[in-house]
Chains A and B, each alone.
Chain A
Amino acid sequence: MNQFIFPFTLAFTALSILGAFLAPQNGLTNLALLVSVGLVSLGKLPTAWRSGLLAVLALALTILLRLNPNDKLAFYGLLGVLVAAFLLPNLSKLVRIALALAILFIAVPIAGLTNSFLFELGIQIGIFAALALGLNVVVGQAGLLDLGFAAFFAIGAYTWGIFGSPQAAQFIPGYPAEGLPGNYLYLFMALAVITAAITGVLIGLPALRLRGDYLAIVTLGLGEVVRVFANNLDKPLNITNGPQGITPVNRPDVGPLTEFLRAIGAERLYGRPIDEPIAYSFFFYLLVLVVIGIVVLVNIRLANSRFGRAWVAIREDEIAAKAMGIPLLPTKLLAFATGAAFSGAMGAVFAAKQTFVSPESFTLQASINILAFVILGGMGSIGGAVVGAAAVTVLNIGILKDFSDLLNTWRQTGVTILGYNMANLPPQLNPAKYERLVFGLILILMMIFRPEGLIPEQRHRAELQEARQEAKEGGGK
């Protein structure tokens, strides 16, 4: 029934134990709250009780965050409640939406306006989640293995990066020297959707005639081609400014948002003025949320449409699908273009958020990471893509960094653990630098113990169970 409960509870138990070390001032409170989140999700509770308890927990964690905005564990706990609200069976739609809105638009901003790291984390999760949702259409639903997905993200980022910065003046005579004003970003997000979708079709046209592993290597190659162009198109015409990248990319005006925050008394609440950096963090947090919302809606509508069913048919059996009259190439191209369009829009947001675009962000590594989010979350499942992105992002820029800080503190204070003086620990051992090690280990273990992902799509789960059954029977013979 609750397929995701096992990893979920495991994660929370691990987090709680870590919590006692990482945040001693709130250690016990955190421990209690995180364990409760796990228990409420896991326990056999009546629906009304569960909804109520989740709401209470959300409130408690919010208060904890308000008292101490640097308490990351309370933040993770809130994320946990959010995930639970969306994925637990039997919750009413109203409760789900109310909980999600309250956490995303009240609880997180309350802490984020003081500790902008929380916004940063939220924005990162959002960007990766949108990319994962895009790739989910291609790999998860249509079953087309694309190893060059970051190319579309790059196209979106460069679409705004070039025209929203002094860069375009380099090759268009008479272009405004500062580039287009930041408020054009909204227009360019739409343009990025179109350019990315067109690139998707252009890359897809040759690549999609191939299948399986051949498709993988060709998309990988074409992804690299896009990166090489981004890296070298600084001559003969300086279009992308080469490896130095483009900076500064203009950002939309946040005046109205700042006014609004002042009007509702945010300054008095925090005892400090709302300055530009914090306003921008908040702004991009909201923008990313809106984009994600739209992407999720489009995704759900598409998955339940004629095209969505055609994609699944192709994924399950291409020949049968063809025999049933599904036009293969156009249907696959549509999947490619849709996925590309999502990540193109997020690319434009990314460029504005960073105020900097360079080929560094769009390597093969990035493509593989996005693929891993999709697989970890559960191929073909929309919730899975978001949770996969969130889990890995929290791990990489949250937990591993905290763990490094902890080790550093131990080194400095010379704590002795199991007879070993931590002051002798080599300084090269810095967990924050070894995120790939942890990530790799998680990938391997997940594939061995839970290949269907954290939140599997129904159809996939059924298939895998069938295969397992067959393997078992085969072994008995």
Chain B
Amino acid sequence: MTVADLFAILPQTLLEGLLLGFVYAMVALGYTMVYGVLGLINFAHSEVFMIGAVVGLEVFRFWGNPEAPVIANPLLLLLVALVFAAAGSGIVAVLVERFAYRPLRKRGSKNILVPMITAIGVSFLLQDLTRIYAALRHNEFNMQYRTYDVLNQVFELPLQTTIQFKGVIVIVVSILMLIGLTYLVNRTKLGKAIRAVSQDMQTAALMGINPDTIISRTFLVGGSLGGVAGVLFGLLYTNVTPYSGVLPGLKAFTSAVLGGIGNIPGAMVGGLILGQLETLSGTYLPFLTNGNFGTEYKDVFAFLTLVLLLLFRPQGIFGQNVSEKV
């Protein structure tokens, strides 16, 4: 492969990185919202995302059954799947908050490890519950998304790049999500309350805000976003397992940290950077090292970049420098 070839595939690689980046960014929004309010790394968010993917799949199977489709139009079907997945994941996230995190908050322990271990426990629990569900209902572990011609339709773009219709949907939906979330946080009453609670829970409570309600709603919003991301992830990569939330969840969390956790545009930017890093290193590493270091090293690349960046900017790209209280 010549240098000219390397340049020829660059636009397509960048586009794919963009797509991956948007998926990470969508999931990262959920992490960042919860972190912004509670200061908690909600590891269970990757499972909330996975459950969204499973709910979407069930909608596709139930109403889009090829023999007797109730909703024949794939786009309408997708919309219904998105709505149901958002609702499903949102409810799961709220329940998790209600039954796992809230009791900890009431207890008032200052140890940051306790909520994190709970989050890990919740994530194990949700994984295996989904596994039981998949085993009983489908008698299999892998769940396949059906493909639709409309969604797989390929568009030719300039510079010899192509994109599938579902890719366009991913990009559009995630941009809408970012705009919607920014609007919600900055312009609405709920957003104002969320910001107040994230600043100081006790003072917010004195001002007549019920922190529990606000936290619950934050989880609802974050969970719904995760559910939508889950369906789109399922559409893009077609295969869903009870554990398919883990890796994207990890990457999304890395994105959130990269962008400055707790910061909404930061999560988006972090996701996009991580997506580009991964795709670029995945495509070019084998060429640059004569095939000695293959695509597998893309994760190494992503994590090492994170380490390097955090060394120079420990608070992430957009994070604010929190001054130490003594």
Q: Hey, which bits of chain A sit against chain B, CB under 8 A?
A: 139, 145, 206-207, 209-210, 212-214, 216-218, 220-222, 224-225, 228-229, 231-232, 235-236, 319, 364, 368, 371-372, 375, 379, 426, 428-429, 433-434, 436-437, 439-444, 447-448, 451, 463-464, 467-468, 470-471, 474
Known: A213-B41, A444-B100. A229 touches B300 (CB 8 A): yes
Query: Which residues of B17-72 have CB atoms within 8 Å of chain A's CB atoms?
Result: 35, 41
- CB–CB B254/A139 < 8 A: no
Contact residues in B for A463 (Cβ distance below 8 Å): 110-111
Known: A213-B261, A428-B136, A471-B107. A436 touches B127 (CB 8 A): yes
Q: Does B8 touch A at the CB level, under 8 Å?
A: no
Q: Mark B125-148, 1 if CB is under 8 A from A, else 0.
A: 111110110011001000000000
Looking at the complex, which one of B107, B125, B132, B299 makes contact with A440 (CB distance below 8 Å)? B125
- CB–CB B127/A225 < 8 A: no
Known: A218-B306, A448-B103. A224 touches B124 (CB 8 A): no
Supply 29 A–B pairs (Cβ within 8 Å), ascending by A.
A139-B113, A145-B113, A145-B116, A212-B112, A213-B261, A214-B257, A216-B41, A218-B310, A225-B303, A225-B304, A319-B324, A371-B117, A371-B120, A375-B113, A375-B117, A426-B135, A436-B128, A440-B120, A440-B122, A441-B125, A444-B122, A448-B100, A448-B103, A451-B104, A451-B109, A464-B109, A467-B109, A470-B108, A471-B106
4 further A-B contacts with Cβ under 8 Å, apart from A426-B136, A439-B124, A447-B117, are A210-B310, A218-B310, A225-B303, A463-B111
- CB–CB A467/B300 < 8 A: no
Known: A221-B307, A444-B125. A368 touches B104 (CB 8 A): no
* Minimum Cβ distance to chain A for residue B138 (Å): 10
- CB–CB A437/B107 < 8 A: no
Interface-lining segment among B152-160, B231-239, B289-297: B289-297
- CB–CB A443/B297 < 8 A: no
* Minimum Cβ distance to chain B for residue A173 (Å): 20
Distance A474 CA – B261 CA, assembled complex (angstroms): 30
- CB–CB A428/B139 < 8 A: yes
Q: Hey, which bits of chain B sit against chain A, CB under 8 A?
A: 35, 41, 100, 103-104, 106-118, 120-129, 131-132, 135-136, 139, 246, 250, 253-254, 257, 261, 291-294, 296-297, 299-300, 302-304, 306-307, 310-311, 314, 324, 326
Name the 5 nearest CB pairs between A and B, nearest first: A443-B121, A440-B124, A471-B108, A221-B303, A437-B128
Distance A127 CA – B288 CA, assembled complex (angstroms): 41
Contact residues in B for A220 (Cβ distance below 8 Å): 250
Contact residues in A for B291 (Cβ distance below 8 Å): 235
Distance A256 CA – B186 CA, assembled complex (angstroms): 75
Looking at the complex, which one of A217, A434, A447 makes contact with B257 (CB distance below 8 Å)? A217
Which residue of the partner chain B has the closest CB to A209?
B311
Which residue of the partner chain A has the closest CB to B311?
A206
Distance A231 CA – B310 CA, assembled complex (angstroms): 26
Contact residues in B for A213 (Cβ distance below 8 Å): 35, 41, 112, 257, 261
Distance A431 CA – B286 CA, assembled complex (angstroms): 43
Distance A327 CA – B300 CA, assembled complex (angstroms): 31
* Minimum Cβ distance to chain A for residue B87 (Å): 24
Distance A347 CA – B111 CA, assembled complex (angstroms): 30
* Minimum Cβ distance to chain B for residue A294 (Å): 28
- CB–CB A319/B113 < 8 A: no
Instruction: Name the residue in B117, B122, B294 with the highest tally of chain A Cβ atoms < 10 Å from its Cβ.
Output: B117
Distance A207 CA – B253 CA, assembled complex (angstroms): 17
- CB–CB A379/B113 < 8 A: yes
- CB–CB A443/B120 < 8 A: yes
Distance A217 CA – B135 CA, assembled complex (angstroms): 32
Looking at the complex, which one of A216, A228, A235, A451 makes contact with B107 (CB distance below 8 Å)? A451
Looking at the complex, which one of B104, B112, B326 makes contact with A448 (CB distance below 8 Å)? B104
Distance A422 CA – B20 CA, assembled complex (angstroms): 47
Known: A428-B132, A451-B109. A442 touches B114 (CB 8 A): no
Known: A225-B303, A379-B113. A440 touches B297 (CB 8 A): no
- CB–CB B118/A444 < 8 A: yes
- CB–CB B296/A232 < 8 A: yes
Contact residues in A for B104 (Cβ distance below 8 Å): 447-448, 451
Contact residues in B for A440 (Cβ distance below 8 Å): 120-128
Contact residues in A for B123 (Cβ distance below 8 Å): 440
Which residue of the partner chain A has the closest CB to B105?
A471
Contact residues in B for A468 (Cβ distance below 8 Å): 107-109
Contact residues in B for A216 (Cβ distance below 8 Å): 41, 116
- CB–CB B121/A444 < 8 A: yes
- CB–CB B129/A207 < 8 A: no
* Minimum Cβ distance to chain A for residue B3 (Å): 22
Contact residues in B for A464 (Cβ distance below 8 Å): 109, 111
Known: A228-B296, A440-B122, A471-B106. A218 touches B113 (CB 8 A): no
Which residue of the partner chain B has the closest CB to A320?
B326
Which residue of the partner chain A has the closest CB to B247?
A364
Contact residues in B for A319 (Cβ distance below 8 Å): 324, 326
* Minimum Cβ distance to chain B for residue A68 (Å): 33
Distance A401 CA – B167 CA, assembled complex (angstroms): 45
